[in-house]
Amino acid sequence: MARKEARKSRAEARVERLTWAMLVLVFVVLQFIPEGTVLPNFIVPAACAIILLGSGFYQFTRSWRVSPFLWIAGVLMAVAAGYSVGMNPSVNLAGVSLLLTFIVIVMGIVLDES
């Protein structure tokens, strides 16, 4: 018989939901920026990377389980931001960031972890 894992605490679930909300907020804020405003292309992936990796480290320091999807997406977004800064500043990686955010949230809901 498989061993049933303990349910996550309310605090752990709250941190996961807050992480998701902050990721979504990055894209909501983009919609309120006036048209014609020029933002550096690395801003979106960098903001998402900071949120994901910050959440991952926070959860890790509390000895909570952290999804590998969160770590992978955070590192990929950090690499994307670095690529945008160092190699190709003209590439817009907001779409890639949105896709990775979607994957993190969906996997967090499906697997009940984030």
* pTM summary value: 0.87
pLDDT exceeds 90 at position 9:
no
pLDDT exceeds 50 at position 2:
no
Q: CA–CA separation, 6 vs 62, rounded Å?
A: 15
- Would residue 100 count as lying in a domain? yes
- Would residue 105 count as lying in a domain? yes
Q: Which residues make Cβ contacts (< 8 Å) with residue 102, sequence separation at least 6?
A: none
Q: CA–CA separation, 114 vs 65, rounded Å?
A: 8
- Would residue 89 count as lying in a domain? yes
**Length of the chain counted residue by residue:** 114
Sign of CA dihedral 104, 75, 33, 99: negative
- Would residue 31 count as lying in a domain? no
Which has more pLDDT, 34 or 79?
Answer: 79
How far is the CA of 15 from the CAs of 41, 44, 47, 60, 62, in angstroms?
Answer: 28, 21, 17, 12, 11
- Would residue 57 count as lying in a domain? yes
- Would residue 12 count as lying in a domain? no
